[in-house]
């Protein structure tokens, strides 16, 4: 682990490398797809996914927003928990993406993305 504790939103704001490498286009399900699959043309290799991915976890009573680090070698770890985000935004995102649930993990929606980008100063 590159960080010794779970980071907060304020901690992330101090890490320009993390902010620059957030993958807004990746969902939790994408991270879990097999690296190799057999097709009619032979074995297909999935492109490596690396960067930082926000997701909403629903294993607890209330949904929680987390940031995960994912490497090209398929190593993943949770880096941050974002407690500052309004619960209603997370509940709305979970409801909007209920058909995209993957083991209790949901992708963020545009409203959550916009809130995060504003908070992180991403244009």
57-96 residue pLDDT tens: 998 889 999 999 987 666 778 899 999 999 999 999 999 9
Kindly state the average pLDDT of the residues 13-22.
95
Decide if 2 is inside a domain.
Answer: no
How many other CB atoms are there within 10 angstroms of residue 19's CB atom?
Answer: 16
Residue 33: predicted pLDDT:
67
Residue 73: predicted pLDDT:
66
Q: How many domains does the chain have?
A: 1
Decide if 3 is inside a domain.
Answer: no
Owning domain of residue 29: 9-120
Decide if 104 is inside a domain.
Answer: yes
Decide if 1 is inside a domain.
Answer: no
Q: At what angle do helices 110-120 and 87-96 cross, to 10 degrees?
A: 140
Question: pTM of the prediction?
Answer: 0.84
CA dist., res. 40 & res. 114, Å (int):
40
SS3 of residue 74 by DSSP: coil
Residue 3: predicted pLDDT:
55
Task: Give the pairing type, strands 105-106 and 51-57.
Answer: antiparallel
Decide if 15 is inside a domain.
Answer: yes
Kindly state the average pLDDT of the residues 47-58.
88
Decide if 62 is inside a domain.
Answer: yes
State the Cα torsion 115-121-122-123 to the nearest 10°: 100
């Amino acid at each position: 682990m590159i960080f010794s504790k779970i980071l907060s939103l304020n901690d992330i704001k101090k890490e320009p490398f993390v902010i620059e490498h957030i993958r807004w286009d990746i969902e939790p399900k994408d991270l879990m797809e097999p690296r190799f699959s057999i097709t009619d043309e032979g074995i297909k290799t999935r492109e490596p996914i690396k960067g930082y991915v926000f997701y909403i976890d629903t294993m607890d009573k209330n949904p929680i927003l987390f940031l995960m680090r994912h490497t090209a070698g398929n190593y993943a770890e949770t880096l941050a928990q974002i407690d500052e985000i309004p619960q209603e935004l997370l509940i709305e995102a979970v409801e909007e993406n209920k058909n995209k649930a993957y083991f209790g993990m949901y992708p963020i929606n545009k409203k959550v993305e916009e809130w995060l980008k504003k908070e992180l100063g991403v244009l």
